[in-house]
């Protein structure tokens, strides 16, 4: 337990963290990778270069300081992060390294304002927070290993099939190389893929949603090839998977993880909304509903550029046909002339609230959505404006978690694919 003095000191640093948080975390990662370059094998380098990881960590530190007197209130966030840590292979021995480096970064950035009392209070608070993470993650490691077909760390999988789903998305069907049992998963969960790319000094780990229903003799991931764009490098792992990985090749996978999962007990209508490759976890959920609760009403809405980039369309339509009451709707913001002639989509442009109200039968439903951040900000804003309760709104970020406050970014329902 933290003393009242420590809690008071930590809370007094909230304004400084709000102002200097990102500077602290930028310095933290510089120090961390200089002193411990082996950790570059764990972190997503693309998120580092784009500043996403620094911002996510700054938000997490700020939230911890705000709620230091009631840490139980941030346990849902702790569990979400712990899922990612377990899937990446973060271990208890990493936490002291992180704590020492974070304190050093705070001291360097805040200078004289970082008094001994403040540094001591943060050291104490970090120890408490780290122990919470270590405890939660220990349970997750045990569960992942002890379940039927489970394993610890990473396991070798063979590429059994490779299917091009669109001009930018390819599916990989993966089976255990040891031909032993396959661990179950909840629809919506992801796995981590660890690869060694020729010419790269460090291994790379990326997380990809499982895009088919549980119960199959394989795991399927559907990966978007990330092209280089202004201010954003090409995706090293996605391009390597598309161009370098062939049938029979081996990929190393962690056991399934993640808390963005379908509530199978809830029998109310379902609404799935996706943008770009964000449809992958939702297709897994749709497949599960079709297999287990075909009487549950479902509305599936997907935004893409056009038919050329639209992946898994046929599977979604076939699954909808297995349901007693289902509708599917496609929104294209850059339809081709052929798309227009054949009328293969429902709406041109971007998703908006007026259109949602037309195609979604009721707001008394469970809403699940995933896609690029601008898309998710727009959808979240629309659902809130419509009066959908927060408890009925479920979403997942691809990459470091951020905020869906529409004021923080473009509120259009864009269809660019998320980075994983």
SS3 at position 184 = coil
231 assigned ligand-binding residue: no
Q: What are phi and psi of 9, to 5 degrees?
A: -65, -45
Catalytic site positions: 95, 137
289 assigned ligand-binding residue: no
SS3 at position 117 = helix
Rg (CA), the chain: 22
188 assigned ligand-binding residue: no
With 0-12 CB in 10 A as exposed, 13-18 as middle and 19+ as buried, what is 405?
A: exposed
CA distances from 108 to 15, 26, 179, 197 (A): 17, 11, 52, 35
Report DSSP letters for 364-387, one per residue: SSEEEEES-HHHHHHHHHHHHHHT
Round to whole Å and give the CA distance between 257 and 120: 35
Which residue blocks in 93-115 are alpha helix, DSSP H? 94-110
33 assigned ligand-binding residue: no
Contacts of 300 (CB under 8 A, 6+ apart): 272, 282, 286, 316, 320, 326, 327, 328, 329
Structure tokens at 368: 């699940």
281 assigned ligand-binding residue: yes
Decide: 218 and 284 in contact? Cβ < 8 Å: no
51 assigned ligand-binding residue: no
Of 290, 278, 287, 281, whose CA–CA distance to 261 is shortest? Answer: 281
398 assigned ligand-binding residue: yes
Of 224, 222, 235, 142, whose CA–CA distance to 174 is shortest? Answer: 222
With 0-12 CB in 10 A as exposed, 13-18 as middle and 19+ as buried, what is 238?
A: buried
15 assigned ligand-binding residue: no
State the number of CA atoms in the 13 A half-sphere of 46 facing the CB: 23
335 assigned ligand-binding residue: no
277 assigned ligand-binding residue: yes
Which residue blocks in 204-263 are alpha helix, DSSP H? 236-244
111 assigned ligand-binding residue: no
Length of the chain measured in residues: 420
329 assigned ligand-binding residue: no
154 assigned ligand-binding residue: no
402 assigned ligand-binding residue: no
H or E segment at 180? none
Round to whole Å and give the CA distance between 196 and 214: 28
Q: Which residues are annotated as a binding site?
A: 85, 190, 206-209, 276-281, 397-400
Q: Which residues are annotated as a binding site for NADP(+)?
A: 276-281
Q: Which residues are annotated as a binding site for heme b?
A: 85
Q: Which residues are annotated as a binding site for FAD?
A: 190, 206-209, 397-400
């Amino acid at each position: 337990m933290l003393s009242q003095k420590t809690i008071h000191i930590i809370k007094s640093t909230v304004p400084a963290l709000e102002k200097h948080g990102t500077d602290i975390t930028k310095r933290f990662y510089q120090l961390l990778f200089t002193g411990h370059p082996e950790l570059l094998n764990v972190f997503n380098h693309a998120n580092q270069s784009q500043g996403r990881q620094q911002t996510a960590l700054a938000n997490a530190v700020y939230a911890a300081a705000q709620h230091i007197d009631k840490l139980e209130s941030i346990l849902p966030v702790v569990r979400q992060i712990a899922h990612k840590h377990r899937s990446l292979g973060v271990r208890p021995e990493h936490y002291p390294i992180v704590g020492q480096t974070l304190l050093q970064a705070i001291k360097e950035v805040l200078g004289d304002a970082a008094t001994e009392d403040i540094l001591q209070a943060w050291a104490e608070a970090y120890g408490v927070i780290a122990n919470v993470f270590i405890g939660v993650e220990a349970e997750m490691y045990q569960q992942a290993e002890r379940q039927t077909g489970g394993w610890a760390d990473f396991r070798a999988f063979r590429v059994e099939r490779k299917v091009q789903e669109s001009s930018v998305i390819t599916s990989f069907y993966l089976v255990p190389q040891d031909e032993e049992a396959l661990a179950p998963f909840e629809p919506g969960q992801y796995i981590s893929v660890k690869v060694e790319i020729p010419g790269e000094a460090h291994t790379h780990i990326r997380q990809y949603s499982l895009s088919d229903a549980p119960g199959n003799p394989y795991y399927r991931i559907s990966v978007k090839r990330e092209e280089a764009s202004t201010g954003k490098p090409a995706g090293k792992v996605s391009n390597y998977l598309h161009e370098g990985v062939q049938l029979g090749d081996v990929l190393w996978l962690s056991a399934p993880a993640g808390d963005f999962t379908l509530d199978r007990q809830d029998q109310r209508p379902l609404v799935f909304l996706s943008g770009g490759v964000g449809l992958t976890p939702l297709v897994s959920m749709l497949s599960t509903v079709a297999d287990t609760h075909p009487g549950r009403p479902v509305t599936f809405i997907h935004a893409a550029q056009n038919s050329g980039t639209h992946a898994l369309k046929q599977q979604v339509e076939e699954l909808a046909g297995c349901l007693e009451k289902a509708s599917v709707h496609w929104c294209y913001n850059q339809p081709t002339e052929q798309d227009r002639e054949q009328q293969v989509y429902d709406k041109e442009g971007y998703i908006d609230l007026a259109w949602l109200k037309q195609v979604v039968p009721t707001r008394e439903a469970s809403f699940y959505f995933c896609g690029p951040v601008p898309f998710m900000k727009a959808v979240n804003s629309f659902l809130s404006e419509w009066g959908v309760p927060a408890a009925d709104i479920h979403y997942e970020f691809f990459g470091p978690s951020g905020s869906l406050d529409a004021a923080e970014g473009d509120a259009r329902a864009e269809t660019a694919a998320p980075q994983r």
